[in-house]
Structure 1
Amino acid sequence: MRGTIYQTIAFISLGSLIACTSKPSKPKTVADTRSCFEKLEPDAKDITKIREKIHADQKAWQLDTVFQKKVKREGFNGNVLVAQKGVVIYRKVFGMASFDRKMKDSLHFDSKFQLASMSKTFTAMAVLKLYEEGKLKLDDSVQKFIPDFPYHGIDVKMLLSHRSGLPYYAYAFDDSVRKVRIPPDNNQILKWFAQSRPKPYNYPNRSFAYNNSNYMVLASIVERVTRLPFDQYLKKNIFDPLGMKNTFLATTSNDSININRTYGYEGHRKVLTDYYDKVVGDKGIYSTVDDLYKWYRALNSDCFLSKKTVKEAWEPRSFERKGIKNYGFGFRMMLKDVDSKKPKYVYHNGWWKGYSTLFWFNPKEDYVVVILGNRKNGTVYRVKSILQIMEEDAEAGMLDDDLTTE
């Protein structure tokens, strides 16, 4: 009996000793289930500090003064968003989605605008995504994907940087397009190229020449590599993953996503459909200012493509005016001076059948300007006063005040 008591006491003492000498267990950590893009958003407690640091309220007031002038004096009609360092500074709607007497409707933040040539930024990134995944190379020839393509010596990077020398399809087939009942799509344009072989504009890689044919061919290459229609590839690999719920391609046959779609106007006259509306890659994407802000955040993170790959898109490759205007892969850019290797500004404009659009950002200062207009108006491209506000100095004076080039 006594032995049993001693054994019990010894066991309790040993257990106490082990408990005292063992390390305390670490508290369990809660897994961070947020997506990569959600992690980019500043915490609520930091937003106030960021707004104070970038003088957000002052900039918002100044920006409103500029845009009210664009509306009242210059006839701007559209939506605007300006953001910096993860904080939206200015976001506003001006005017009408439709000027038709029977269908008059005001714009709102879910209004979808045709991006026109701004769509090229998506086409370029779709190609670079396939490049990053090892599904194509930048020096691959067009014939690797489109065997009967009649122009040789052209590779993917020449298409991306508008250095292919290809003829412009809209001019080459002006007569053909008027004789067909069904508007041509990319495949039909490629067939016409193979059949009639219009004279090229220049030799491959000889010079820069901005040309929608390049991006039509690139979209067709994406389709052949992925075996998906271009609209489905964009939705599956870009729009849906980035949460761009109000963005779609014009060729998408789904009426539900056409809700809140705007129409282009010249004055109060609606611009009718064009022969080439079904040709995509060079144009054709509809989106909103909020979705394009998501696009900006994706481009400036490692969540969509690696920064190394995106950097290739923002490397000057075609000097329109050396040190002033340059073209990379799907983006225009401006350098601070002729010796700079990093762009001060990255941007792309767009114009198509009444739509005037602009997507402009400064990588160093981390701000973006998105302007979407559905009534033809050159004021969309006059950004000098906006940049001076965002940079709080006169450095933006290096710019011309009109960037009407697509």
Structure 2
Amino acid sequence: MRLSLYIFAFFCVILNFSCQNKTADSAESSVAVVDSAELKRKEERIRKDIKADIKAALIDEVMQKKLAQGFNGNVLIAQKDVIVYEKAFGYANFKDTIRNGLQSKFQLASLSKTFTAVAVMKLTEQGKLGLDNTVKDYFPDFPYDGVTIRSLLCHRSGLPFYQYTFDKMVRGEKIYPTNQNMMQWFAKAQPVPPIFNLPDHFFSYNNTNFAILAALVEKVSGKSFDEYMRENIFLPIGMKNSFIATTKNDSININRTYGYQFGQRLPKDYYDDITGDKGVYSTVEDLLKYYTALKNNTLITKESFKEMVLPRSFEHPGLRNYGYGFRLWVNAKQQTDYIYHTGWWKGYNTIMFFDLREDFVIILLSNRYNRSVYNIKEIVDIMHGGKQSSVEENILDE
């Protein structure tokens, strides 16, 4: 009899525990449904407020013109956390007739420089790099004095171009150098390759600057550039489909595109394994996450980002300028209106262009070279509600 009472009591406890769990699960489920519904209502309010449907129709007209001009790739345009327009066009692989999808991964070319700059600012916040330290502070055999991290970030180092300096050796010996190989070559070159300008004297856009910055990221973090970027930049903000070209992670090949120019698929280039100046593979949706992280200061602090988008080159008066890894479109008062970067490498050409004042971002990624990628004035005007912007029709400045 006593044993039966114990068994009965045991099953009562289990039943009560189960009921409590079901009640809790039901409550959580109800909250999730309410939250989801509220988010949907909020999105609908924003879409109505920004006239998203009208903008989407107008943007589609622009994209149809780009298609007629040969555009092949993906586009995503968003405002206030709402995707206004998103489509995939053409082929990732023409030979096998594999079409581009929204998860297709594109080589970002020089748009990759923005990620390198963010990594440097993150390491600076942690005290692992100093913007006013020189390259020689980290690579004592580097043959050039006075080249600061700051001067690399804003293309004011005056250094020679690595592609031309070592091109004869690389192509003659069919070498695929890394960033660390490049640093060793600069250290050992005899005679020392001549500089173009003294550091901090003149703006000169130069891939060498960001290839060195990637080498510095590797040196101070003790990780490969790919490992550092995946662990500290991509994955923390949910960019699960983004990689550096040198990754050993085979999932980069899932939905990977190939670059085409003059009707030909381009093979791997001898300089593809030098990264930082290029080399990020990503998707339009991952880049939207990147934009959101930048504006919300979840990757680097507000102060660091503000420093990155401060104009720093005034030798050529005009609307275009450069900060740390970002191109800038400034107004007559030399204040930043738009932040962007373009890219062009081995059949790929790209642009990411955003306005923090009205909170919109324009992303176009192409894997078949086509200059229409850079003609975004019509889209910018649409995002401003039809008002004329100061942006030129073609903003290519590679």
- Contact 2:174–2:270 under 8 Å retained in 1: no
What is the CA–CA distance in structure 2 between the aligned matches of 1:68 and 1:174, rounded to whole Å? 40
Which one of 173, 179, 185 corresponds to residue 186 of structure 1? 179
Find the counterpart in structure 2 of residue 136 from structure 1: 129
**Following TM superposition, by how much is the alpha carbon of 1:250 offset from its aligned partner in structure 2, in angstroms?**
0.4
Question: Are 2:160 and 1:167 equivalent residues in the alignment?
Answer: yes
- Contact 1:319–1:327 under 8 Å retained in 2: no
Matched ranges for 1:255-334 at <5 A: 255-319=250-314, 321-334=316-329
Which one of 58, 61, 65 corresponds to residue 61 of structure 2? 65
DSSP 3-state at the match of 1:126: helix
**Following TM superposition, by how much is the alpha carbon of 1:392 offset from its aligned partner in structure 2, in angstroms?**
1.5
Q: Which amino acid aligns with 1:400?
A: E
What is the CA–CA distance in structure 1 between the aligned matches of 2:47 and 2:250, rounded to whole Å? 40
What is the CA–CA distance in structure 2 between the aligned matches of 1:178 and 1:276, rounded to whole Å? 10
User: What's the TM-score, normalizing by structure 1?
Assistant: 0.87
Which one of 235, 260, 267 corresponds to residue 230 of structure 2? 235
**Following TM superposition, by how much is the alpha carbon of 1:284 offset from its aligned partner in structure 2, in angstroms?**
0.4
Question: Are 2:357 and 1:361 equivalent residues in the alignment?
Answer: no
- Contact 2:202–2:315 under 8 Å retained in 1: no
**Following TM superposition, by how much is the alpha carbon of 1:194 offset from its aligned partner in structure 2, in angstroms?**
1.2
**Following TM superposition, by how much is the alpha carbon of 1:320 offset from its aligned partner in structure 2, in angstroms?**
6.1
Question: Are 2:392 and 1:400 equivalent residues in the alignment?
Answer: yes
Which one of 232, 239, 244 corresponds to residue 239 of structure 2? 244
Computed over aligned residues only, the root mean square deviation of the Cα atoms, in angstroms, reads: 1.6
**Following TM superposition, by how much is the alpha carbon of 1:188 offset from its aligned partner in structure 2, in angstroms?**
1.2
**Following TM superposition, by how much is the alpha carbon of 1:323 offset from its aligned partner in structure 2, in angstroms?**
4.0
For these two proteins, the number of residue pairs brought into alignment is 362
Deviations 1:69-111 (A, max 9, x none): 1002x100000000000100000011011111xx221110111
**Following TM superposition, by how much is the alpha carbon of 1:266 offset from its aligned partner in structure 2, in angstroms?**
1.0
Find the counterpart in structure 2 of residue 352 from structure 1: 345
Which has the larger helix fraction?
2
Deviations 1:267-318 (A, max 9, x none): 4210121110000000001000000000000000122211111010000012
What is the CA–CA distance in structure 1 between the aligned matches of 2:187 and 2:298, rounded to whole Å? 39
- Contact 2:91–2:98 under 8 Å retained in 1: yes
Which is worse superposed, 282-291 or 182-191?
Answer: 182-191
Which is worse superposed, 298-307 or 278-287?
Answer: 298-307
DSSP 3-state at the match of 2:236: coil
**Following TM superposition, by how much is the alpha carbon of 1:255 offset from its aligned partner in structure 2, in angstroms?**
1.7
- Contact 1:326–1:333 under 8 Å retained in 2: yes
DSSP 3-state at the match of 1:139: coil
- Contact 2:91–2:97 under 8 Å retained in 1: yes
Find the counterpart in structure 1 of residue 50 from structure 2: 54
**Following TM superposition, by how much is the alpha carbon of 1:319 offset from its aligned partner in structure 2, in angstroms?**
3.1
Find the counterpart in structure 1 of residue 19 from structure 2: none
What is the CA–CA distance in structure 2 between the aligned matches of 1:289 and 1:391, rounded to whole Å? 21
**Following TM superposition, by how much is the alpha carbon of 1:222 offset from its aligned partner in structure 2, in angstroms?**
0.7
What are the ranges of 5 or more consecutive residues in structure 1 without an aligned counterpart? 1-29, 32-38
Q: Which amino acid aligns with 2:265?
A: K
**Following TM superposition, by how much is the alpha carbon of 1:160 offset from its aligned partner in structure 2, in angstroms?**
0.1
Find the counterpart in structure 2 of residue 20 from structure 1: none
Q: Which amino acid aligns with 1:109?
A: L
Q: Which amino acid aligns with 1:188?
A: N
Matched ranges for 1:143-154 at <5 A: 143-154=136-147
Find the counterpart in structure 1 of residue 213 from structure 2: 218
**Following TM superposition, by how much is the alpha carbon of 1:57 offset from its aligned partner in structure 2, in angstroms?**
0.3
Q: Which amino acid aligns with 1:405?
A: D
DSSP 3-state at the match of 2:53: helix
After superposing on structure 2, the runs of 4+ consecutive aligned residues of structure 1 that deviate more than 6 Å are: none
What is the CA–CA distance in structure 1 between the aligned matches of 2:168 and 2:233, rounded to whole Å? 36
What is the CA–CA distance in structure 1 between the aligned matches of 2:270 and 2:314, rounded to whole Å? 32
**Following TM superposition, by how much is the alpha carbon of 1:180 offset from its aligned partner in structure 2, in angstroms?**
2.5
Question: Are 2:44 and 1:78 equivalent residues in the alignment?
Answer: no
Matched ranges for 1:365-380 at <5 A: 365-380=358-373
Q: Which amino acid aligns with 1:349?
A: T
What is the CA–CA distance in structure 2 between the aligned matches of 1:321 and 1:379, rounded to whole Å? 26
Find the counterpart in structure 1 of residue 84 from structure 2: 89
What is the CA–CA distance in structure 2 between the aligned matches of 1:332 and 1:167, rounded to whole Å? 21
Q: Decide which structure has the larger Cα Rg and report it.
A: 1
What is the CA–CA distance in structure 1 between the aligned matches of 2:391 and 2:361, rounded to whole Å? 16
What is the CA–CA distance in structure 2 between the aligned matches of 1:44 and 1:93, rounded to whole Å? 24
What is the CA–CA distance in structure 2 between the aligned matches of 1:114 and 1:320, rounded to whole Å? 31
Over the matched positions of the two proteins, sequence identity in percent amounts to 49
Which one of 254, 277, 293 corresponds to residue 249 of structure 2? 254
Q: Which amino acid aligns with 2:254?
A: I
- Contact 1:323–1:334 under 8 Å retained in 2: no
- Contact 1:99–1:268 under 8 Å retained in 2: no
What is the CA–CA distance in structure 2 between the aligned matches of 1:371 and 1:181, rounded to whole Å? 33
What is the CA–CA distance in structure 2 between the aligned matches of 1:149 and 1:281, rounded to whole Å? 18
Which is worse superposed, 167-176 or 187-196?
Answer: 187-196
What is the CA–CA distance in structure 2 between the aligned matches of 1:151 and 1:270, rounded to whole Å? 38
